[in-house]
Structure 1
Amino acid sequence: MHINKRYTFIDKILFVSSLLLSISFAQAQTTTTAITNKSIPAVRTNKKIMIDGVLNDSAWLAAPVATNFVEFRPAFGNIEDAKNKTEIYLLYDDDAIYIGGFCHEASVDSISKELVGRDVIGVNDYVGVLFDTYKDKINGFGYYITPLGEQYDAKYTNNGEDGSWNSVYESKANIVAGGWTFEMRIPYSAIRFSSNKIQDWGINITRNRKKSGKQYFWYPLNPNVGGTLFSQAGLWTNIQNIKPPLRLSLSPYLATYANHDGTTNPKTWSTTISGGLDVKYGISAAFTLDMTLIPDFGQIQSDNQVLNLSPFEVKYNENRTFFTEGTELFSKGNLFYSRRIGGEPLHYWDVQNNLTSNEHIVSNPSATKLINATKISGRTASGLGIGVLNAISSAQYATIEDNTGKSRTEETSPLTNYNIIVLDQTLKNNSSISLINTNTWRAGKDYDANVTAGIWDLYDKKNKWNFSGQADVSQLLGILPNGGNQIGYSHTLGFAKPSGRFNFSVYQNLTDNKYSQNDLGYATNNNFLDHGLWIGYKWLKPNMWYNNLRFNFNLTYSRRYMPSSYQMFEVNSNINGQFKNLWNGGIYVSYTAAQNDFYEPRVEGRVFKIPAKHLIDVWLNSNYAKKYSAGLEMAYYATSKFGTSGVDISPNQSYRFNKKLTISMNSNIQLRYNNIGFATLDAGKSIMGSRTRYSVENIWVFKYNFNNKMGVNLRARHYWSRVNYHQFYNLQEDGGLMTTARDYSSLANYNINYFNIDMVYTWQFALGSFLNIGWKNAIQNFDPTLDRDYFKNLKSTLASDQLNNFSVKVIYFLDYAKLKKKSNV
């Protein structure tokens, strides 16, 4: 009876969705796109340009000017005000591209500026120059500058912007009467292009004026047109006789660490000194080799550790520079999770199970040691992108000791080689096809893994329609008891209308029960067949009270693939936008029908029936260009059974004292009442429990920049999670719960704290060269006292034993082309 009601409801939803789709097809016939052709002639100079931010070099008199910028947001199509006009000048010579600009402002006070450090925009106004050097309308490079002369650079693909990519270029800016001026020098070693004698590049230029909330593009970027950023771009024409230089740079480093371990008795000090080398070498005009030898990641930001009660692994952010910079090719297909490299040993959790009654663990490192890593990436003139990544981690061992003091070692991870190969061919109309292979090879008897995927992303000529998909085959080699291989399959299919005010996409995701990508990728689970629909409508023309509004509707239906059975049905919708005062906010509502959860029980073949749930989420953020900005998000959900409910409260606030000092705080408070979830196993049976859970996360950031080359950043984070079970249940065969009188609280209750401080002083003492002084503090407190409030709990945490790490690291950038030029003088 309940099943019939559910499918009647689904039928109604599908009928409404079909009606909306028919409207979108009709609307598509009336959508028109204005096409503007703009170009800038390339002008060569033989005069010297000093990069000081002052446009008084005589070379600029011959430079063509790009002006008449068009508003992108909030009101697309308006020509910029003459009082705030933008003038950009471009030149080139045998060695570099030169960009100068005058950003006019009616009042200097209207310039939004803050010292935030490299690769951060913050609340700054900025100008960015974007080059599509192969003119494929997909891939490109962006070079940005703020009024205080700080840099931000990025790579662009059909996956969007990769802000982690870094290049080395010169820039300087000055705030002057009537606005601000800048100059940039981009050496050819910092950009990739073909060796053709005569070239045309795609180009666009953007300016953002944060206090007004307005962003402009030199070539109009219509937000109602689908495709990539470079699908709407002008041309930089007739570039002649530029030659890609020998691109070779070395970044040797020297680091020293002092570690104080307050968790041992007696407390111990230890020191280490390490050195290594990062190498960038231009194999050809298009391809670059990146290599890190004896890498050092001791100063990276600490992980945001949490108490994980879910059946799935926590996915942490990647903070290691080598694995974040220039990895846009390797991120295609979502098959690469770089934390696998140098991550947790394969048999880390087996050590405890292999102990005899008189043994204990002396040491069991939680991460493997990375020996080296190499990347080769680039794109040919015909649009073929090639990427190869290889990394090797050494074998890892745990040390075990018995009661007599005799010790032994146990291998927790063998010598392991990780490899990724990507072929990505751009096509007409912003389309592309890709082939990706990931491989994990382990020495010895452990299994190996291999995943191969084909990806396509196809647009029609006007970028109105898109057909995309991916097909994957995974192989676990030698994993079966007889030494055989396990082969799995997965695919994604999607059809979308990305252009116009009315958009939609429909998709199918299928993954069989043998597919696995987790040896070098990340996925929570396999064995599903999902279908989904997304419909959106946007109002981008400012009105009396808003600058823009966006509405979308989503529907998801999920089944297990084998054996086929219902898992989940959800429908949700949200509306969000920006108001005239540059505040933004939105509201989200969802309904999830009763679910069959096959993972929470932690026993194969068992299911937990989750009751239906409804949720509402609202958020509001003030104008973050103001000195003080704040935001608040609040969500409430409740289920139809067990009295389960939850509240999420996420406030954030920031105060900018001046252009140098900013303090911010972000919080996330989660309150769960009568939450039903897995508690423990008893004789192989799932024990579920009703629990109250409070989780609080507070992150404080103190940023002080002395100038645009030197600054201090301190980040402190405290995470607390308390879980108190008050009723336990035996999970029944039909997925229901039966009350048990047995108390499992000693096994299931938690009171966990993580506290971290990450402080780094950074000084860029030369182009591409840095001195970093760091301090890291870490506390883990597993407090059995459940009835403490937050502040008593924090006080107890700060009084606990802790780890402190002090470091000094020097990185020096050596550019072969620059050294050779100096030696020839």
Structure 2
Amino acid sequence: MHPFFRALLTLTLLATNLVYSQKKTVEAKSISEKIVIDGELDENIWNTAKVASDFVMLEPDNGVPIAPEKKTDVRILYDNEAIYVSALLYDNQPNLILKEMTQRDNFGTADHFGIYINGFNDGQQDFRFYVSASGVQMDCIATEAEEDYSWDAIWSSSVNITEFGWVVEMRIPYAALRFSKEEKQTWGLNLYREIKRDRQKYTWSPIDLKIGATLPQAGLLQGIENIKPPVRLFFIPYASYYHERNENTSNNTFKAGMDIKYGINDSFTLDAILVPDFGQTVYDNVQLNLGPFEQQFNENRPFFTEGTDLFNKGGLLYSRRIGGSPSTYASSENPDEEVKNPASVNLINAVKVSGRTSKGLGVGFLNAVTEQTFATVNNNVSGESRNVEVEPLTNYNVFVLDQRFNQNSSVSFVNTNVTRNGDYRDANVSALVYDLNTKNNKYNLSGDLKYSYINELRNFDDQKGINTTLGFAKKGGNWRYSLGGNYVSDEYDSNDLGILFINNYHGGYGNFGYRILNPSGIFNTFRINTNYYLEFQNTTGRTQQAQVNIDVTSTTRQNDYFSLAVYLNPLQTYDFYEARTSGRFVNIPKNIYTSLYFSSNYNRPFALDLNFYSTATTERNRENIGFTIAPRYRVNDRLLLNLSGDFYNQFSDKGWVAFDGNDIIFSERDRNTITGQLAVKYAINPRMTVNVSSRYYWSYAENKQFLTLQENGVLIPNSTFTENRNYDFSTWNFDLSYSWWFAPGSQLSVLYRNNASNFSNEINKSVRDNFSNLFENNLNNIFSVSFRYFIDYNSIKNAF
């Protein structure tokens, strides 16, 4: 090539790169006058602020400019207390704007406007604030990995539907954000709009989905200077009353306590709960668990869900351990004694400190203390009773350091520690976690190294183990892939404050996938992924898992969703856990799992979810078949009905049931499970809702024949074991709740709850009889009222 043309090409490429590397920028305007958040925008100062506009589609047609009739203009003001945001969202058909009214943090079927703020402009974490066309607020802390909607900030907003579209007005206090102490602030900023009827999402700063990371593609907010944020100190006192009644007892309980939030500085916040009360948290979906592992439940307690992204680094924290079941249990060999073990341990208090410095160093500290707990042993002959300690005073601690760099990479150190008073078991687990990305976010190297140390004081036995993973991935573009491996030693154990089902294995995985980034043909979105995984037990080298998976997901032009999954296990594998005996295993036959799922467009008043799933094996008659149907009907913008039914049949399932001398006894059994759920939402206004949530669950396992496990993992018929190993379990939960956010951060909630459960070794296969018997089995009723009030120190300091 001629040198002149080579130079011209070089200059052209440099100019093109310069244009595309420049970030969109908008300036905030300083104000001294008061802004009333009413959705009217009648303050003249709004007209003097710079405008952020020219939104670009994020999904489904990535990169297409917004239509002129859907123009969106955003302005930002600020003072020493907060930033103020106004948005004019034009729509040539304002009568078609969807505006379902929901609970907070539930997007529902409505148009939305959002602002994403990154106070450190490091491309790593956003504070996101949304408001729907019906006025409902949603907020979250967002990273590339997840959006955490359990985080709730205190901010104000108002909307107004107009003849040209709709208007949004927001006030976001600095207390809801994190940023540096620089005199001149430069924040990462993006603005979001969703037009729900078209299922179209737009952003102010364009996001190229060919690039693996979205947060670093934000624009810039400049102009904020010399702000002096007020002290961040908040008190949330609460009072609650509970009346509980069943056929045997009735009692009343009154509780009072306080949550405290204190901004140590602009970056770090302390959260503390004094005398906690979690009595109104969502009920657990308990199941008949016949497997070798405990059932894992979601965390529903606000303190342990809000703003915990740092503490979840490395996957070492399962917060349900704190205040969960005791680590030991009492028993008695005396047939005259009845032992009552407690189901849980009371939490005395908890505190957490978290935040991030201007240099990108995140620091998290969580500490909780649970009380000494006893089981009760009653002698039915003498009438005497005694207490047996099953859990001492216990301290739980989590410490995290997370250093971010290059806008899109991080290295973290995590430590969890459980210290029990006296000679009980103590545990300590540490992890080094890394997530490294190239500058263009196209390639990723990630992994971890975890080390556990268990001190069994009673047995004078220390246990040390390691767990490590390493993975490489191509994240951007239409074609994406990943590969990696993991190793877990036989003594690695993180279960004191985490949750771990298996150890003593090593494995490797691969993933290869394709996706469209713009609508094509009949599809708005289309993805196909293939996954490959092999896992081997360390001691014997036997194969524990061998899977080839294919997942296809798509959204049609009518925004109906389809997915197909095929999971093939082409090799015989070995289960080292079902036998409940170290070193023993049971053979698992080759099998194939398939799932077909359909979800119709929720924009329609009536929508339907359907899912069919099944597993077939090479063993005769050993198969599973399941079907889920979930219709939903949006009566109007306030009332939504959801119904779900799941029917699951397992034929010739084989699982452990007992030990008989030196024999390990399995059962070949048929198992049927029915789950029915009903949810009703009625929104009185954006801050007041009434909700009904109910769940009926019934599962039974009927023995066909007993089997004895051989040393080689084969099961052979057993004719000598004759105990009843049939299982019938049913449970019912019903919640009727009223929630009123009567002021920012302040809530009145009223809850009526009833529940019942029944377990038996005798099976009655009549659904009607089972449901009726469940309510006759000592139905428990709870009525509760909880009042929480948010107090900003700045609003009361003059009184002192």
TM-score past 0.5 threshold: yes
Q: CA deviation at 1:668?
A: 2.1
Trace 1:768-783 onto structure 2 (pairs within 5 A): 768-783=745-760
Q: CA deviation at 1:611?
A: 0.6
Q: CA deviation at 1:521?
A: 0.3
User: What amino acid is the match of 2:623?
Assistant: S
Aligned to 2:11: none
Aligned partner of 1:706 among 684, 691, 716: 684
- 8 Å contact kept, 1:646–1:672: yes
Aligned to 1:24: none
- 8 Å contact kept, 1:260–1:805: yes
Do structure 1's residue 257 and structure 2's residue 274 form an aligned pair?
Answer: no
Aligned to 1:237: 222
Aligned to 1:792: 769
Aligned partner of 1:156 among 121, 139, 142: 142
Deviations 1:272-317 (A, max 9, x none): 1110000000111111000001000000111000011111111100
Distance of 1:798 and 1:113 partners within structure 2: 39
Aligned to 1:327: 308
Aligned to 1:550: 527
- 8 Å contact kept, 2:423–2:457: no
User: What amino acid is the match of 2:386?
Assistant: R
Distance 1:146 1:636, change over 3 A: same
- 8 Å contact kept, 1:603–1:685: no
Distance of 2:743 and 2:405 partners within structure 1: 41
Aligned partner of 1:653 among 624, 627, 631: 631
Distance of 1:675 and 1:479 partners within structure 2: 40
Task: Give the 3-state SS of the residue equivalent to 2:417 in structure 1.
Answer: strand
- 8 Å contact kept, 1:627–1:656: yes
Aligned partner of 2:427 among 444, 449, 465: 449
Do structure 1's residue 425 and structure 2's residue 406 form an aligned pair?
Answer: no
User: What amino acid is the match of 1:653?
Assistant: P
Distance 1:543 1:680, change over 3 A: same
Q: CA deviation at 1:77?
A: 0.9
Distance of 2:154 and 2:464 partners within structure 1: 44
- 8 Å contact kept, 2:660–2:721: no
Q: CA deviation at 1:170?
A: 0.7
Aligned to 2:6: none
Q: CA deviation at 1:98?
A: 0.2
Aligned to 1:186: 172
Aligned to 2:56: 70
Deviations 1:143-198 (A, max 9, x none): 11011111111112343211111110011111121211111001111111111101
Q: CA deviation at 1:791?
A: 3.1
Aligned to 2:493: 516
Aligned to 2:267: 286
Task: Give the 3-state SS of the residue equivalent to 2:770 in structure 1.
Answer: helix
Do structure 1's residue 342 and structure 2's residue 323 form an aligned pair?
Answer: yes
Distance of 1:790 and 1:32 partners within structure 2: 69
Trace 1:538-577 onto structure 2 (pairs within 5 A): 538-577=515-554
Task: Give the 3-state SS of the residue equivalent to 2:69 in structure 1.
Answer: helix
Aligned to 1:147: 133
User: What amino acid is the match of 1:667?
Assistant: G
Aligned to 1:370: 347
Q: CA deviation at 1:670?
A: 1.1
Task: Give the 3-state SS of the residue equivalent to 2:418 in structure 1.
Answer: strand
- 8 Å contact kept, 2:401–2:413: yes
Q: Which of 99-108 and 392-401 deviates more?
A: 99-108
Deviations 1:731-769 (A, max 9, x none): 1111111111235461x2111101001222111112211
User: What amino acid is the match of 1:506?
Assistant: L
Q: CA deviation at 1:237?
A: 1.5
Task: Give the 3-state SS of the residue equivalent to 1:242 in structure 2.
Answer: coil
Do structure 1's residue 297 and structure 2's residue 278 form an aligned pair?
Answer: yes
Aligned to 2:5: none
Trace 1:486-505 onto structure 2 (pairs within 5 A): 486-505=463-482
Distance of 2:668 and 2:22 partners within structure 1: 62
Distance of 1:454 and 1:744 partners within structure 2: 51
Do structure 1's residue 172 and structure 2's residue 142 form an aligned pair?
Answer: no
Q: CA deviation at 1:260?
A: 0.3
User: What amino acid is the match of 2:621?
Assistant: G
Root mean square deviation, CA, Å: 1.7
Distance of 1:214 and 1:203 partners within structure 2: 20
Q: Which of 429-438 and 42-51 deviates more?
A: 42-51
Distance of 2:723 and 2:792 partners within structure 1: 62
Task: Give the 3-state SS of the residue equivalent to 1:541 in structure 2.
Answer: coil
Aligned partner of 2:782 among 798, 805, 813: 805
Distance of 2:525 and 2:689 partners within structure 1: 36
Distance of 2:722 and 2:92 partners within structure 1: 69
Distance of 1:35 and 1:226 partners within structure 2: 16
User: What amino acid is the match of 2:325?
Assistant: E
Distance of 2:516 and 2:767 partners within structure 1: 44
Distance of 2:402 and 2:183 partners within structure 1: 25
Aligned partner of 1:221 among 187, 207, 216: 207
- 8 Å contact kept, 2:93–2:165: yes
Distance of 1:246 and 1:355 partners within structure 2: 60
Trace 1:557-706 onto structure 2 (pairs within 5 A): 557-592=534-569, 593-706=571-684
User: What amino acid is the match of 1:184?
Assistant: M
TM-score, length-scaled by structure 1? 0.93
Distance of 2:658 and 2:399 partners within structure 1: 42
Distance of 2:335 and 2:18 partners within structure 1: 77
User: What amino acid is the match of 2:216?
Assistant: S
Task: Give the 3-state SS of the residue equivalent to 2:408 in structure 1.
Answer: coil
- 8 Å contact kept, 1:429–1:463: no
Distance of 1:180 and 1:684 partners within structure 2: 74
User: What amino acid is the match of 1:588?
Assistant: A
- 8 Å contact kept, 1:49–1:59: no
Do structure 1's residue 90 and structure 2's residue 76 form an aligned pair?
Answer: yes
User: What amino acid is the match of 1:332?
Assistant: K
Task: Give the 3-state SS of the residue equivalent to 1:518 in structure 2.
Answer: coil
Deviations 1:574-599 (A, max 9, x none): 11110010001111112112111111
Distance 1:744 1:383, change over 3 A: farther
Q: CA deviation at 1:781?
A: 1.4
Distance 1:442 1:84, change over 3 A: same
- 8 Å contact kept, 1:479–1:486: no
Do structure 1's residue 436 and structure 2's residue 417 form an aligned pair?
Answer: no
Aligned to 1:723: 701
Do structure 1's residue 105 and structure 2's residue 91 form an aligned pair?
Answer: yes
Q: CA deviation at 1:642?
A: 3.6
Distance 1:598 1:642, change over 3 A: farther
Do structure 1's residue 471 and structure 2's residue 449 form an aligned pair?
Answer: yes
Aligned to 1:526: 503
Aligned to 2:13: none
User: What amino acid is the match of 1:178?
Assistant: F
- 8 Å contact kept, 1:429–1:460: no
Trace 1:808-823 onto structure 2 (pairs within 5 A): 808-820=785-797
- 8 Å contact kept, 1:36–1:220: no
Q: CA deviation at 1:36?
A: 5.5
Q: CA deviation at 1:38?
A: 0.6
- 8 Å contact kept, 2:244–2:780: yes
TM-score, length-scaled by structure 2? 0.96
Structure 2 unaligned blocks of 5 or more = 1-16
Deviations 1:256-282 (A, max 9, x none): 1101023xxxx2210011100000001
Aligned to 1:761: 738
User: What amino acid is the match of 2:234?
Assistant: S
Aligned partner of 2:514 among 537, 549, 553: 537
Distance of 1:598 and 1:460 partners within structure 2: 40
Task: Give the 3-state SS of the residue equivalent to 1:704 in structure 2.
Answer: strand
